[in-house]
């Protein structure tokens, strides 16, 4: 039996469809300072900062034209010499399909895995950075931190993620919401039930800290954009949050900070909440989320 690890380096990027990539790109650029570049296929690539003093990657988010905001794929960056053969073996053992991904401007050659739910995960080496520095601004998030996806069967998808990618379970809420990490940061991927097909609930970008929310939210308000939910503090992950939505597509972004880290793997036991604990999980400070957030 193979003991090769298939753990990625980090969450690399997320690809979604939106009705009007230019409008969504304008929201990201004007409202939050994202760097946005056009693609030959009519979409856009959007990026923020680098991974803690690392060069700025070509993309954190790819926007493709589509009828609605829908998840297309989640990409994990993997190291040189990654065990693609082991990844394919595990995928086959769990009834998942694989296909090769050719090297291009977005990254090196890799493998895409599609599970029974239709969730498409791509593992590939990161592409070369194309931006050495972005103009300084207090608005722009630092990096892509996590993606929260909706799937038809959350427990089955959660089990597949650990078996396929060696992701580590950090916390869970009943059988309806699971939080996974790649390294020490509490979660880089969340999996929740409630969708007939794989979809995205939110994309989370890290901001500098508490004081950054005032500047960001004031700027968004000046442009006519409204906060959907927050500020508040989650129970799982203990992070601060503000949620905003792109008006043209409904794509939801979480601006988070102060995320918990897990450094002692040997002694860590993932806490389990129940769905009835919502008052202490969604927002420890009290205000419940709007119905739009729960959909």
Structural domains of the chain ordered from first start:
10-124 (3.10.180.10), 143-294 (3.10.180.10)
The residue to which tokens 């034209």 are assigned: 65
What pLDDT, in 10s, does the model give residues 165-222?
A: 999 999 999 999 999 999 999 999 999 998 999 999 999 999 999 999 999 999 999 9
What integer pLDDT is reported at residue 275 of this predicted model?
A: 87
Binned at pLDDT 50, 70 and 90, residue 226 comes out as very high
Lowest mean pLDDT among 70-84, 221-235, 272-286: 272-286
Q: Examine the pLDDT at 1 and tell me if it is beyond 70.
A: no
- Answer whether 199's CB lies under 8 Å from 149's CB: yes
Query: Average model confidence (pLDDT) for the chain?
Result: 94
Q: Examine the pLDDT at 51 and tell me if it is beyond 70.
A: no
Those residues whose C-beta lies under 8 Å from the C-beta of residue 204, and which sit 6 or more positions away, are 144, 145, 146, 147, 148, 253, 254, 255, 256
Pairing of strands 61-65, 10-18: parallel
What pLDDT, in 10s, does the model give residues 133-175?
A: 788 888 999 999 999 999 999 999 999 999 999 999 999 999 9
C-alpha atoms less than 13 angstroms from C-alpha of 51 in its C-beta half-sphere: 15
- Distance between CA atoms of 16 and 24, rounded to whole angstroms? 11
What integer pLDDT is reported at residue 53 of this predicted model?
A: 67
The beta-strand segments (E) located in the chain are: 10-18, 35-38, 44-47, 61-65, 70-77, 97-101, 110-114, 120-124, 143-150, 168-173, 177-181, 189-192, 199-206, 227-233, 240-245, 252-257, 272-273
What integer pLDDT is reported at residue 116 of this predicted model?
A: 76
Q: Is 99 exposed, middle or buried (0-12, 13-18, 19+ CB in 10 A)?
A: exposed
3-state secondary structure of 276: helix
- Distance between CA atoms of 77 and 115, rounded to whole angstroms? 19
The beta-strand segments (E) located in 6-165 are: 10-18, 35-38, 44-47, 61-65, 70-77, 97-101, 110-114, 120-124, 143-150
Q: Examine the pLDDT at 131 and tell me if it is beyond 80.
A: no
Q: Is 290 exposed, middle or buried (0-12, 13-18, 19+ CB in 10 A)?
A: exposed
Q: What is the mean pLDDT of residues 256-262?
A: 97
- Distance between CA atoms of 21 and 94, rounded to whole angstroms? 35
What pLDDT, in 10s, does the model give residues 79-93?
A: 999 999 999 999 999
């Amino acid at each position: 039996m193979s003991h090769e690890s298939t753990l990625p380096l980090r969450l690399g990027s997320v690809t979604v469809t939106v009705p009007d990539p230019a409008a969504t790109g304008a929201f990201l650029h004007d409202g939050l300072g994202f760097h946005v570049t056009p693609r030959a296929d009519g979409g856009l690539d959007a990026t923020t900062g680098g991974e803690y003093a690392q060069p700025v990657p070509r993309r954190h988010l790819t926007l493709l034209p589509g009828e609605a905001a829908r998840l297309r794929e989640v990409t994990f960056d993997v190291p040189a010499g990654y065990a693609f053969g082991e990844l394919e073996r595990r995928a086959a053992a769990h009834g998942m399909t694989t296909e090769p991904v050719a090297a291009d401007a977005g990254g090196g050659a890799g493998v895409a895995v599609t599970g029974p739910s239709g969730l498409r995960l791509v593992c590939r080496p990161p592409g070369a950075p194309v931006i050495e520095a972005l103009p300084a601004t207090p608005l722009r998030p630092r990096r892509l931190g996590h993606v929260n996806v909706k799937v038809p069967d959350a427990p089955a998808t959660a089990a597949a993620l650990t078996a396929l990618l060696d992701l580590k379970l950090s916390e869970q809420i009943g059988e309806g919401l699971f939080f996974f990490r790649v390294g020490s940061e509490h979660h880089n991927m969340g999996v929740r039930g409630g969708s007939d097909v794989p979809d995205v609930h939110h994309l989370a970008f890290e901001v500098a800290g508490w004081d950054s929310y005032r500047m960001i939210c004031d700027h968004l308000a000046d442009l006519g954009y409204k906060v959907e939910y927050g500020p508040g503090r989650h129970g799982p992950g203990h992070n601060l949050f503000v949620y905003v939505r792109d008006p043209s597509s409904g794509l939801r972004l979480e601006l988070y900070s102060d995320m918990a880290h897990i450094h002692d793997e040997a002694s860590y036991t993932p806490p389990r909440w129940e769905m009835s604990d919502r008052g202490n999980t969604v927002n420890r400070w009290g205000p419940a989320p709007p119905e739009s957030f729960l959909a």
